């Protein structure tokens, strides 16, 4: 992954926000609402407005067309060809092979909740993208959180990673590296709210 300097990041962030808003508008226009099961999962995740969410099944996750943003996406590897899903606030792209895979939808629903907590594209993308750029996907804490919440839906005790259509579990990555724990010593994942962390009650009673 090619490093991005803080100065480059600040120049790219407005472009990323504009692209994300454009894609959300498209999904909200053409996507479909959540099923009853997905609505129930959204409630368990703690989403405030699940009725606003739309899913759009697609063969390939689109890439930004702006030259600088496209170059950055390719150099950082943040949108590889095998990306299964992408959440843009209340709009979710999901690739056709994963449309009915519950843990993937739950994973994306966690990102919807994170968007809500950050209250907008710019605050969410500033944190999420910077974590991915500096720590690497999937070690970014917000991505780890989505992994840790979605794991119960898969029934797996190990993190899931997908290479094309094939599931693989890299031996170099341990479960402890894919679940973020607060400094308090608690063994529960947490959501970010600005610079503050908390333990939402739903994580203590989550039954996916």
Question: What is the number of domains present in the chain?
Answer: 1
User: What Cα–Cα distance (Å) separates residue 143 from each residue in 43, 173, 191, 194?
Assistant: 20, 14, 11, 16
pLDDT for res 91: 97
- Can you give the pLDDT at residue 14? 96
Structural domain that includes position 114: 6-205
Sign of CA dihedral 138, 141, 142, 146: positive
Rounded to whole angstroms, how far apart are CA atoms 131 and 47? 22
Q: Please give the pLDDT value at position 153.
A: 57
| pLDDT the model gives residue 109 | 96
Tens digits of pLDDT across the chain (208 residues): 567 889 999 999 999 999 999 999 999 999 999 999 999 999 999 999 999 999 999 999 999 999 999 988 888 878 888 888 999 999 999 999 888 889 899 999 999 999 999 999 999 999 999 999 888 777 889 998 898 888 665 454 444 333 333 333 333 333 333 333 233 333 333 333 333 333 343 333 344 3
* Cα separation, 59 vs 173, whole angstroms: 28
Closest CA to 157 of 172, 136, 179: 179
Is 57 a domain residue? yes
Give me the pLDDT at residue 73, please: 86
Nearest to 91 by CA among 122, 53, 64, 117: 53
* Pairing relationship of beta strands 196-198 and 191-193 according to DSSP bridges: antiparallel
In a domain, 1, yes or no: no
CA nearest neighbour of 166 among 66, 98, 115, 108:
98
């Amino acid at each position: 992954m090619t490093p991005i300097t803080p100065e480059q990041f600040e120049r790219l962030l407005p472009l990323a926000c504009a692209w994300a808003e454009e894609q959300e508008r498209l999904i909200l226009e053409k996507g479909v609402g959540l099923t009853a099961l997905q609505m129930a999962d959204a409630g368990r995740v703690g989403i405030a407005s699940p009725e606003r969410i739309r899913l759009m099944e697609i063969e390939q996750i689109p890439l930004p067309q702006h030259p600088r943003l496209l170059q950055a996406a390719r150099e950082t590897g943040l949108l590889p060809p095998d990306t299964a899903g992408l959440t843009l606030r209340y709009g979710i792209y999901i690739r056709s092979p994963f449309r009915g895979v519950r843990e993937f939808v739950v994973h994306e629903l966690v990102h919807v909740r994170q968007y809500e907590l950050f209250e907008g594209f710019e605050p969410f993308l500033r944190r999420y993208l910077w974590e991915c750029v500096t720590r690497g996907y999937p070690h970014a804490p917000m991505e780890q959180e989505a992994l840790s919440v979605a794991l119960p839906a898969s029934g797996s005790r190990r993190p899931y990673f997908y290479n094309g259509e094939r599931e693989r579990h890299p031996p170099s990555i341990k479960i402890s590296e894919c679940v973020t724990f607060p400094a308090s010593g608690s063994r529960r994942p947490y959501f970010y709210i600005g610079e503050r962390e908390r333990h939402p009650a739903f994580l203590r009673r989550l039954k996916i």
